[in-house]
Chain A
Amino acid sequence: MSASSRILLVTPNRLVGIGLKKLLLEYFSPLDVSIVADLGDVPELRSFDVAFLSSDSYVLYRDRFAAISTTPVILTEGAGVSESREVPLTVNVTGTESEIVEQVQRGLSAHRPGRGHSKAEHLSAREVGVLRLVARGYLNKQIADKLSISLHTVISHRKNITRKLGIKTVSGLTIYALLNGLVSSKDVG
């Protein structure tokens, strides 16, 4: 699992902050959300992936976004108020919940495009090799010897296999290998 995105909400309106935080967590977890009243209180803006802020604070602190990868998303009151070409991402706080959710989603995915519909994570040839041996009952140390790689490398392959397949136990991995023809049932015993 990758670390969750860090989100900054800049608003002096506590209720807006709480509401937006709840909405973010409900629809887009896992996220790490912080709320501040003023961007002046945030020394490390670059540590956030996305910052939601009013157009006033954006105008005031625009320069701080210049050299960093943090994506600004402007909170507007009413549609099309802040349609500047420079910052196309806005969330209209007077919109319906569905509209807000969709606009927030656009803001979040602008930071990491392609997230969510990324390419399928296939096992590498080496991982398949390790998996075959796991299914046939070999221990990590034996796999390392057989493939002439370090124990550390075997463990890291196994972690990646588990992450990609979502299967943790040896019995589960064995069934995966059988179902996908990586081993035959007589290999498994």
Chain B
Amino acid sequence: MKLLTADMKLAEIVHSNYLLIPVLNRFGIRLGFGEKTVRTVCSERRINLEFFLAIVNAFSNEDFFPEARLRTVNVLTIVDYLRTTHAYYIHAQIPRIERLLRSLARSKTRRTKGVVLAQRFFQEYKRELLAHLKREEEVTFPYVEQVYRLHRSRRSRGNKDLLARYSMRAYEEEHDNVDEKLDDLKNILIKYVSSGPDDDTLNTVIFELFRLERDIIDHTRIEDTILRPIVAEMEQAIQRTAR
């Protein structure tokens, strides 16, 4: 996969991998950017250029993950990005898959039983995923923001309380894998739900599941290899000053 760089046109980036369109949206970039380059759009919209490039490259290329570069990025920027990603799952991707499954179940073909079971299975997965996202939004991200502020202020009082209530270690332990169910659902639809006259809807469900899975893998990778180590380092620094 070609490396995406600052002086490429945004359109070129989309041509290289159209799955990046929703990733651009998460940065607040909308289609219709004409001939503008990445550098121009990032400076117009006050997007951290290095962060943007690291994210789009890591998304397109599984083997490319500029950890060192990403770790220099402000942790609030990372949390913002992760939040918009959550919003995309909750408001766009999951409802879309639900709609598609509903329309498949309505189509009264011989595969209806399989579709109904798949629908129920997807609901189970959805509950797990939403609980996971909610925990991050309500506990992990606010905690990260507090740690960041404390770390910057270099005050030492009251810090231990915060760290005693939650930590990146606790996050690591609760950050369980929610994608096994998604993988199973894909396999069931591919192997055991037979194709009917409305192939296209079933195909679209499967495409969407692959896309969601890939996005979540990328998302988890950012959380585990970037967010967690940066915040753990701040925790250590705070603990040293609190002594």
Contact = CB atoms under 8 A, between A and B. Distances in A.
A172 B181 contact: yes
Given A171-B121, A171-B124, A172-B121, A179 B113 contact: yes
A175 B111 CA distance: 13
A175 B185 CA distance: 9
Contacts of B192: 176, 179-180
B187 interface: yes
B181 A166 contact: no
Interface of B: 113-114, 117-118, 121, 124, 180-181, 183-185, 187-188, 191-193
Nearest to B188: A175
B188 A179 contact: yes
Query: How would you classify the secondary structure of chain B's contact residues: helix, strand, loop or mixed?
Result: helix
A167 interface: yes
Given A166-B191, A179-B192, A180-B192, A172 B185 contact: yes
**Chain B CB within 10 A, most for which of A167, A168, A178:** A167
A84 interface: no
A165 interface: yes
A25 B113 CA distance: 40
**Chain A CB within 10 A, most for which of B113, B121, B184, B193:** B184
A167 B190 CA distance: 12
Contacts of B121: 171-172, 175
A171 B113 CA distance: 16
Interface residues of A, number: 12
A180 B184 CA distance: 16
B221 to A, nearest CB: 20
Contacts of A166: 183-184, 187, 191
A169 interface: yes
B117 A172 contact: no
B117 A167 contact: no
Query: How would you classify the secondary structure of chain A's contact residues: helix, strand, loop or mixed?
Result: helix
Interface of A: 165-169, 171-172, 175-176, 178-180
B181 A171 contact: yes
A175 B191 CA distance: 12
A60 B188 CA distance: 53
13 contacts: A165-B191, A166-B184, A171-B124, A171-B181, A172-B187, A175-B117, A175-B118, A175-B121, A175-B188, A176-B188, A178-B117, A179-B114, A179-B192
B63 to A, nearest CB: 11
A166 to B, nearest CB: 5
A169 B188 contact: no
Contacts of B188: 167, 172, 175-176, 179
B114 A165 contact: no
A150 B92 CA distance: 47
- Nearest first, the 6 A-B pairs at minimum CB distance are A172-B184, A166-B187, A175-B117, A167-B184, A168-B180, A179-B192
